[in-house]
Amino acid sequence: MTDTRWLDETEMAAWRAFLSTSHLLERRIEEQLKAAAGLTHAQYEILVRLSGAPGRQMRMTELARGVVASKSALTYQITQLEKAGLVERTTCPSDDRGVLAVLTETGMRCLEQIAPGHLEVVRRYLIDRLTREELEVLTAAMRRTEEALRA
Amino acid sequence: MTDTRWLDETEMAAWRAFLSTSHLLERRIEEQLKAAAGLTHAQYEILVRLSGAPGRQMRMTELARGVVASKSALTYQITQLEKAGLVERTTCPSDDRGVLAVLTETGMRCLEQIAPGHLEVVRRYLIDRLTREELEVLTAAMRRTEEALRA
DNA sequence: AGCTGGTCGTTCAAATCTGAACAACAAGTA
DNA sequence: TACTTGTTGTTCAGATTTGAACGACCAGCT
């Protein structure tokens, strides 16, 4: 509170661009997924994480960390995905408190079907507009702040 | 749908890092603002935009575009900020349909008071972790995709 | 003036997220 | 064993967002 470190032009420009772009991209992705499969981006990310996990299953808490969602938000979304038949709940054998979210065959097929359309959006607006070097700079920068935020 | 262009490792790494980090940062910012002033990040951004606008006022639609929010979301938030005395609504003199959101003196003082704490978070987790060059690369990249998304 | 298409901001119901509270269980310690 | 501390996932109420529908208004044209 003593003396405020404001952002200079370069810093402010970076922050504003990052902020606007992430929100705009989020919007577009949401729109595409809703139209293509009636899914939320949050739901899509859950399917992706599960599909990449051993046994296509994950503990609720671990999954929540992965997709950056609160525990209650994940509980809600898993319930929705369960109703849609894309995910199932299993009690964790090694921990009676635990719950395993498991990707069903239907869920896996659904994901394979909508992934191309989703990735097309990610490509068109972000990935294909960056050079190889920019991609690497972006990754390094993001990982540094991600690491700080996970602590 | 013909042949899918998947993302290679470099591309996927960039996308995942960008996605996780933007969500994590959003969370932290939300947490800080809530604790410091009981404000949402969306509300804070509205105050910032208004403070930088001529006459500290903006048309609803223009403001919605600026902060990347839907019209209904903005209507809701402006109502909240009005209840808090930080913003006022005025009928637009040149267009009877229009509504001007005006930042009040109280709103301006509130913003000046909480900006330092907010910027400190932006610095600590993002800005201060990037080199000058990285900041510029990030800005350029984000602006390119922002431009595409605004079209 | 009358029409037409478009824009503006709001409203509404439904969906989603948040954070605190909670009960059940785990793991270590005395 | 009994106790303590921490974790797990859910629940709940409240806050916020979404998208469609709507009435009011603008601008250009006839």
Predicted confidence (pLDDT) per residue in B64-99, tens digit: 999 999 999 999 999 999 999 999 999 999 999 999
**Architecture of the domain spanning A10-150:** Orthogonal Bundle (1.10)
Query: How many Å apart are CA B69 and CA B118, to the nearest integer?
Result: 20
Domain definitions of chain B by residue range: 14-150
Domain B14-150 fold: Arc Repressor Mutant, subunit A (1.10.10)
What pLDDT is recorded for position A2?
66
Spatial strand order of the sheet with B57-59 comes to B57-59, B99-103, B87-91
Do residues A121 and A36 make contact, with C-beta atoms less than 8 angstroms apart?
Answer: no
Give A47-105 pLDDT, tens digit per residue.
Answer: 999 999 999 999 999 999 999 999 999 999 999 999 999 999 999 999 999 999 999 99
Query: How many Å apart are CA B102 and CA B79, to the nearest integer?
Result: 12
Inform me whether the C-beta atom of residue A116 falls under 8 Å from chain B C-beta atoms: yes
Q: pLDDT band for position A4 (50/70/90)?
A: confident
The footprint of strand D (CB < 7 Å) covers A 27, 30-31, 34, 59-62, 71-72, 74-76, 78-79, 89, 92, 95, 97-99; B 40, 42, 69-73, 76-77, 80, 95-97
Query: How many Å apart are CA B42 and CA B77, to the nearest integer?
Result: 8
Average pLDDT score, chain A: 96
CB contacts < 8 A, A to B, total 159
Torsion sign (Cα): B78, B79, B85, B88 = positive
The minimal CB distance from A24 to the residues B13, B25, B146 is found for B146
Q: Is the pLDDT of residue A1 over 90?
A: no
Q: pLDDT band for position B2 (50/70/90)?
A: low
Q: Is the pLDDT of residue B151 over 90?
A: no
- Closest-CA residue of A relative to B48 is A16
Q: Do A145 and B129 touch (CB under 8 A)?
A: yes
Q: pLDDT band for position A8 (50/70/90)?
A: very high
Q: Is the CB of B66 under 7 A from strand C?
A: no
